Structure 1
Amino acid sequence: MEDKKANIIAVTIIISLIIFIIVARVSLKLSRAFFLIAGADIAVILAVFVCLVIRGRYHRRRKLLEKKLVSEGRELRIEYSFLRKVAGVPIKFRHKELEDATDNFRALLGQGASASVFKGILSDGTSVAVKRIEGEEHGEKEFRSEVAAIASVQHVNLVRLMGYCCLPGGPRFLVYEFIPNGSLDCWIFSRRETRSRPGGCLSWDLRYRVAIDVAKALSYLHHDCRSRILHLDVKPENILLDENFRAIVADFGLSKLIGKDESRVITTIRGTRGYLAPEWLLERGVSEKSDIYSYGMVLLEMIGGRRNVSVIENGTDRSQRKWHYFPKIVRDKLREGKLMEAVDHRLVEAEGIDERQVKRMVYVALWCIQERAKLRPSMAQVVEMLEGRVPVDEPPETQMLVVDLLSIDEEDSSCPDRPRIGVMGSHADCNLPSSSSSSFSMSVLSGR
């Protein structure tokens, strides 16, 4: 715009001077005054022409330089984006990109108390799961926890954070890789498969491999990161299965980072009922042993194909309901020498189960759910035991604290002041759904 304005001014000056020379020639004829005026005007015209030529050359050089800088900048951005992608560093997405990828957030995969997850396809064809976190205080806390825990870690059995997006005063977005085969709960518990939620009965060999994959992921978080990372919400819903049925640990919304010199930290009770370690209930702080307890409970659910805590209702009479605590059933069957009766009946009917592996997994699970945290093995030891590199001794008797909590819950169903199983979650209530959670399950990163 400035160049155009300068050219207009120059042309106007030149035309004005030419008109002035013509007027002087008519009025002054060939007098001395005319020649002086004509000479001065011609000098000014030549000066204007020189300025236009110099300005034009400068303008062309500037355009070439700008074009070169834009080209180099584009190449640098492409190279920077490529290097970030290769290094696994999360990139910052524009909100418009996420809107286009998710068809304006219409492809809903799942929804929780503070977040929703949508399936999306990026411009390069990559399938992603976009988690939108709502809320001010809780949303910011969950966003920071998740990014801090997963952004800098690289492991084949941990979900990969591809990027993020923050809107001023608005929701926060986390972009994850899309895991096609859903979450583990869809493959070990009896349920009806749907188009949006794949599922079935996972074979024993695949279950055993999943157990090792999850153990390796937790071992990496506990021992091989610069700061130890506590997941604090290990459960089947947060274990995803890729196209080859390899386990991917997800949902770090409740995770916590602790220093190498810290043995445990005090935090509010949060997570999922049925997977919380006793030290949380007793407010003694949490450590990596809390994840190990949750992992042991998941192992038992994989073995039995059923929830660890379940209730059988007898009509509408709450006094006739009966609680089932699967770890106690497994312990009793082990003691009676009838361990295979505790295994998922679908696996038994299909045959091909290695009973030695079953016994080894049961031993590991019972070691992991010991009430005394010091008795639980580390996740590195769990990997060695499951892979058969070290022998697994028979675990000691455990008090099964949850059984007492269940009996208390049966005695008092009014839910006012007495201790209840409901305190095992963040929100105490009168009913205990066996899989309820106060956290948002990232199993919706899958195609469920």
Structure 2
Amino acid sequence: MENKKANIIACSAVITLIILIIVARIVLGLSKAFFLLCGAGVAVIVAVFAWLVIRRHYNRSRKVLESQLISEGRELRIEYSFLRKVAGVPTKFRYKEIEEATDNFQALLGQGASASVFKGILSDGTSVAVKRIDGEEHGEKELRSEVAAIASIQHVNLVRLLGYCCVPSGPRFLVYEFVLNGSLDCWIFPKRATPNRHDRPQRGGCLPWDLRYRVAVDVAKALAYLHHDCRSRILHLDVKPENILLDENYRAIVADFGLSKLMGKDESRVLTTIRGTRGYLAPEWLLEHGISEKSDIYSYGMVLLEMIGGRRNVSFIDDDTNGKSGRKRKFFPKIVNEKMREGKIMEVVDSRIVESGEVDEKEVNRLAYVAFWCIQERTRNRPTMAQVVEMLEGRVVVEEPPDSQMVIVDLLSNDDDDYPTADYRPKLAAFSAYGGDNHITTSSSSHSYAMSMVSGR
């Protein structure tokens, strides 16, 4: 456009000068003034043509240089993108790229209280799951928490964070690798139609026992890596079936680090606000003694029990006692504990896989033993995740766990309040006095983000 404009101006100037010379010849004749004017005009015309030639040569050289720079820049971007992927560093996506990848957020995979997950395909053909976190303040906190936790970690059983996107005064987006078979809850609990899910197909079924056991080992390895092999100890703080994904080979992948917390290697415990999901919260949340990696271990143990029974640890049944109709909570771990002590552990195993006849009773007992070691109410009695891996892989003998009174588990699964009521305080006090680990002092009083959030799923 600029070249065209310059050419037009130059041609107009030359034509104007030629007309001026012709007019001068007619008016002045062959006088001295005419020759002076004619010489000046010719000089200007020559200068204009010289300027056009030089400009054309300069533009040609500039275009060649620009094409070289563009080519080199493209190669550098490709190399940089490759190095980022190799290093596991998340890419910052533009909102337009996210919108195009998800086809304007058409394929909804799951939805939670403040986040939704959509399936998408990047421009290079990579299938991804895009998590949209609504709420400016909450979204910013969760994005920072999640990126800080898993931005640079590499493990086969941990979800890969490919990138993120921040929209000013809008939602935040996290871009993950797409995991084909969805979450574990769809494979261990019987399907039931819900208003949010009946209109979109979901993968699921009944996971056979050998795959359930392998999933238990995979998750244990992932948590052991987070707790022991990272520069900073990473607490997941929301271990549950919904946050365990299954790939095309039904290998477990731990996901959703929105509630995670980093913990220094020299710290034994940290204080933070209650976060996580009822039914999986460790007793130390209520005892306010601070949390540690042992809180993840407790949640993991609760997941193991749900994998054994194919049912939720806390369920509700109709209660018509005393002529009053109502609903009563049923706590599955207590049932498993009783059957385990009686040597009748197979009675609580998921009936769907028992019928197949492919359940190894020794493995069921081992998994139950490990689960009850993990959910010991006193943190000092719980094993580390590294020890759990050794137990599950049969490298060490798993002794029968001590019988637990489960004083606090009912309080943690109570749906009435976020915190225990006055009626429960004496029980809490009694447990603490009995030895609820209050001899351990916290080495950090750092506070973290607000209350629990249910991630999109």
Do both proteins adopt the same fold according to a TM-score greater than 0.5, normalized to the shorter chain? yes
Structure 1 counterpart of 2:264:
259
Structure 2 counterpart of 1:428:
none
Contact 1:114 1:135 in 2 (8 A): yes
Structure 1 counterpart of 2:355:
349
* Paired AA for residue 397 in structure 2: P
SS at match of 1:240: strand
Structure 2 counterpart of 1:4:
4
Structure 1 counterpart of 2:435:
none
Deviation at 1:134, TM superposition (A): 0.7
Deviation at 1:135, TM superposition (A): 0.9
Deviation at 1:201, TM superposition (A): 1.4
Structure 2 counterpart of 1:250:
255
Distance 2:409 2:135 in 1: 36
Deviations 1:175-227 (A, max 9, x none): 11222212111211222587622222111110110000000000111111111
Name the count of aligned residue pairs: 425
Distance 1:189 1:2 in 2: 68
SS at match of 1:170: coil
Contact 2:283 2:409 in 1 (8 A): no
* Paired AA for residue 12 in structure 2: T
Distance 2:318 2:408 in 1: 19
Q: Kindly, what percent of the aligned residue pairs are identical?
A: 76
Contact 1:233 1:291 in 2 (8 A): yes
Contact 1:119 1:129 in 2 (8 A): yes
Larger mean CA deviation between 24-33 and 104-113 belongs to 24-33
* Paired AA for residue 330 in structure 1: V
Q: Which structure 1 segments of 5+ residues have no match?
A: 424-436
Contact 1:222 1:230 in 2 (8 A): yes
Deviation at 1:156, TM superposition (A): 0.8
Structure 2 counterpart of 1:28:
28
Deviation at 1:110, TM superposition (A): 1.8
Structure 1 counterpart of 2:381:
375
Alignment of 1:120-135 (within 5 A): 120-135=120-135
1:308 aligned onto 2:313: yes
Distance 1:318 1:149 in 2: 49
Distance 1:383 1:312 in 2: 35
Structure 2 counterpart of 1:239:
244
Structure 1 counterpart of 2:94:
94
Alignment of 1:356-371 (within 5 A): 356-371=362-377
* Paired AA for residue 370 in structure 2: V
1:220 aligned onto 2:228: no
SS at match of 2:408: helix
1:37 aligned onto 2:66: no
Distance 1:120 1:126 in 2: 8
Structure 2 counterpart of 1:74:
74
Distance 2:357 2:248 in 1: 24
Distance 1:74 1:318 in 2: 74
Q: Which structure 2 segments of 5+ residues have no match?
A: 429-450
Distance 1:218 1:58 in 2: 62
Structure 2 counterpart of 1:326:
332
* Paired AA for residue 385 in structure 2: M
* Paired AA for residue 326 in structure 1: F
1:335 aligned onto 2:347: no
Contact 2:281 2:298 in 1 (8 A): yes
Distance 2:167 2:413 in 1: 48
Alignment of 1:277-316 (within 5 A): 277-314=282-319
1:171 aligned onto 2:171: yes
Contact 1:143 1:172 in 2 (8 A): yes
Deviations 1:238-282 (A, max 9, x none): 111111110011111111111111111111112111111100111
Distance 1:409 1:59 in 2: 74
Q: 2:453 aligns with which of 420, 434, 439?
A: 439
Decide whether aligned partners of structure 1 residues 406 and 43 sit closer, same or farther in structure 2, where only a CA change above 3 A counts: closer
* Paired AA for residue 73 in structure 1: G
Decide whether aligned partners of structure 1 residues 24 and 300 sit closer, same or farther in structure 2, where only a CA change above 3 A counts: same
Contact 1:237 1:441 in 2 (8 A): no
Distance 2:271 2:8 in 1: 75
Distance 1:416 1:401 in 2: 15
Decide whether aligned partners of structure 1 residues 41 and 369 sit closer, same or farther in structure 2, where only a CA change above 3 A counts: same
Alignment of 1:48-197 (within 5 A): 48-192=48-192, 196-197=201-202
1:276 aligned onto 2:290: no
Distance 2:111 2:414 in 1: 33
Contact 1:323 1:406 in 2 (8 A): no
Deviation at 1:330, TM superposition (A): 1.9
Decide whether aligned partners of structure 1 residues 280 and 128 sit closer, same or farther in structure 2, where only a CA change above 3 A counts: same
Decide whether aligned partners of structure 1 residues 407 and 201 sit closer, same or farther in structure 2, where only a CA change above 3 A counts: closer
Larger mean CA deviation between 309-318 and 88-97 belongs to 309-318
Distance 1:342 1:221 in 2: 31
Larger mean CA deviation between 37-46 and 107-116 belongs to 37-46
SS at match of 1:350: coil
Deviations 1:256-315 (A, max 9, x none): 111111111111112111111100111111100000000011111111112112221136
Distance 1:24 1:128 in 2: 76
- CA root-mean-square deviation: 2.6
Larger mean CA deviation between 398-407 and 271-280 belongs to 398-407
What TM-score comes out, normalization by structure 2 length?
0.86
Distance 1:139 1:211 in 2: 31
What TM-score comes out, normalization by structure 1 length?
0.88
SS at match of 2:334: helix
Deviation at 1:106, TM superposition (A): 2.4
Structure 1 counterpart of 2:19:
19
